[in-house]
Amino acid sequence: MKLTLRILLFAFAFILLPITGLFAADTPAIDTGTTAWMLTSTALVLLMVPGLAMFYGGLVRTKNVLGTMMHSFAAMGIMTVMWIVCGYSMAFGGNVLGGWFGWNPDYFLLSGIDDKVMDAGIPEYIFSMFQAKFAIITPALIAGAFAERVSFKGYCFFIALWGVLVYNPLCHWVWASDGFLFNLGAKGAIDFAGGTVVHISAGVSGLVAVLFLGARKSHPHLPMRPNNLVMTMIGAGLLWVGWFGFNAGSSISSGLATAQALTATQAAAAAGALAWVIIEGLHQGKATAIGFVSGVLAGLVAITPAAGVVKPGGALILGALATGICYLAIMLKNKLGYDDTLDAFGIHGAGGIVGAIFLTFFIRESWMTDAANIAGGSWSIWQQLGVQGWAVGIAIAYSAIGTLLILFVLNKFMKIRSSEESEMRGLDNSYHGERGYGMINPN
Amino acid sequence: MKLIIAIIRENQLDQVRESLIAAGISRITVNHVSGHGRATTEEIYRGQKVVPNLVPNIRLEIAVNDEFVNITSNAILQATKANDGGLIGSGKIFITPLEEVIRLRTGERGSEAI
């Protein structure tokens, strides 16, 4: 994604500034193959959001099933509108305010890209919508951390602000051609499809939000069991399928790079799942279904930043390693007793950090050779490790501070945390006036 | 021996359970039931307010020895009073005599088996 993106975004600078038809002759031809795959990828990534709604929805108690699913669905509404209004511009416009975020007036309401074709041979609308899906799923992931105890209104305002102040700047730094992390080191910090931008930022923000909002009322002395693991399994399946759009689509091409990313994605997901089953089998004596899908997610999260640069062998190791560390992270959570309800940090934060750091040891040789050429002779994995460390550290620090600020200020205007009464009544009844199921499952 | 049957609001199950456990009553059976009281609850279906004619509630069944009847019903009473808002539809407690209890595992009968 990086190299292509760098070239094509560079080209925009020349194509987009004068909005006239004069340059029509220079417009690259549409590559129907790439366009078709990117359309598919865009749809696949969107499919992950209802997938996530089912995954999270099945894990909460019956009285919160709709409210939890609505967290994902609300993100589809809010983040899409925000993306069209200002998100795309902030993420992929030219540097403003010292590179804090980007801005390009042509991207306001996407008004200037109506007939633009990117150098990759796809209409820019597709790229913009593809990226919009990432902006949707990231805040939806955070919702897993503070599930079962936030007011719907507070959540909506939180994700809108979070998108503007945390996601868009991070996305700009990592993926825009003039973003500073994009240009760190020889070939930039490696974040193929969103290890830092999506998973670390969502995981860390979730953790900060949990610490800010506090645990659920009966945590941890009353057991709070999932209402429908069947739905969780289906949701995890949709996430796995959708992840091919997420990763393989992030090559913004339909060719070799796509195939490499797709293969690495499948390898890491499977390795992660098996590793979880084995660890849990040895540790608890049973291989749970929720454990299997947690392993799938840990593997997928870890391969997300790495899919463009690691080979299948490395992907297997990365997936299994991520599972091991996520498993430990969740055990540690239970020891420390904070209430990251659906393990947004345990899976996405920990898995994202593992992926973004340890991918360094599995980078394919051709990438390192390229990097060495750009750096003018040599580029070692230790130098790249430093770059990755910086990117991870900055993502953690920025999302933690940003989230804390947003919550602190927003909490002055409205109660983000549910009242005790609404929490006991359940999100469904309190905020939506509905119930998820007929008569199954008391509690 | 008495059988205590309590019909309570769905949202108060957690607090009633906590209160019962605090009072030392941990052997309970919980059902999801629906029925008519005097309460009418509005729900929203596709933007329209509807009043379902059967209201979902929680039904607890607790078999106790005579000396625990007041402890149990007070625990339920206290828990349901909190956060209730004083609206109709809080529910009821029924107390009936209980003729015999048999524990399946051991075959014990009567007070011992509760």
Task: Please tell me if residue A63 touches chain B, with a CB cutoff of 8 Å.
Answer: yes
Contact call for residues A45 and A249 (beta carbons, < 8 A): yes
How high is the pLDDT of residue A257?
93
Long-range contacts at A393-398 (CB < 8 A, ≥ 24 apart): A394/A173, A394/A181, A394/A196, A395/A170, A395/A174, A395/A196, A395/A197, A395/A200, A395/A201, A395/A204, A396/A200, A396/A204, A396/A353, A398/A166, A398/A169, A398/A170, A398/A201
What residues of chain B lie within 8 A of the CB of A440, using their CB? 32
Alpha carbons A95 and A99: distance in angstroms, whole number: 4
Q: How far does B48 lie from chain A, in Å, by closest CA?
A: 11
Task: Please tell me if residue A435 touches chain B, with a CB cutoff of 8 Å.
Answer: yes
Q: B89 or A242: whose pLDDT is higher?
A: A242
Among A217, A434, A442, the residue with its CB nearest the CB of B58 is: A442
For chain B, report the end-to-end CA distance as a whole number of angstroms. Answer: 9
Confidence of residue A11 (pLDDT cuts 50, 70, 90): low
- How does pLDDT run across A380-403, given as a tens digit for each residue? 889 999 999 999 999 999 999 999
- Stretch A101-106: mean pLDDT, rounded? 93
- Stretch A335-363: mean pLDDT, rounded? 94
pLDDT for A442 beyond 60: no
Q: A247 or A434: whose pLDDT is higher?
A: A247
Q: Please list the residues that pair with B32 across neighbouring strands.
A: B58
Q: How far does B63 lie from chain A, in Å, by closest CA?
A: 20
- How does pLDDT run across A302-346, given as a tens digit for each residue? 999 999 999 999 999 999 999 999 999 999 999 999 999 999 999
Reduced to 3 states, what is the DSSP secondary structure of residue A242?
helix
How high is the pLDDT of residue A7?
56
pLDDT for A24 beyond 70: no
Contact call for residues B110 and B100 (beta carbons, < 8 A): yes
How high is the pLDDT of residue A8?
52
- Stretch A32-40: mean pLDDT, rounded? 96
- How does pLDDT run across B17-76, given as a tens digit for each residue? 989 999 999 899 999 888 877 756 677 777 777 766 677 889 999 999 999 999 999 999
Among B11, B31, B44, the residue with its CB nearest the CB of A425 is: B11
Decide if A442 and B43 are in contact by the 8 Å CB cutoff.
no
Decide if A433 and B42 are in contact by the 8 Å CB cutoff.
yes
pLDDT for A1 beyond 80: no
- How does pLDDT run across A42-59, given as a tens digit for each residue? 999 999 999 999 999 999
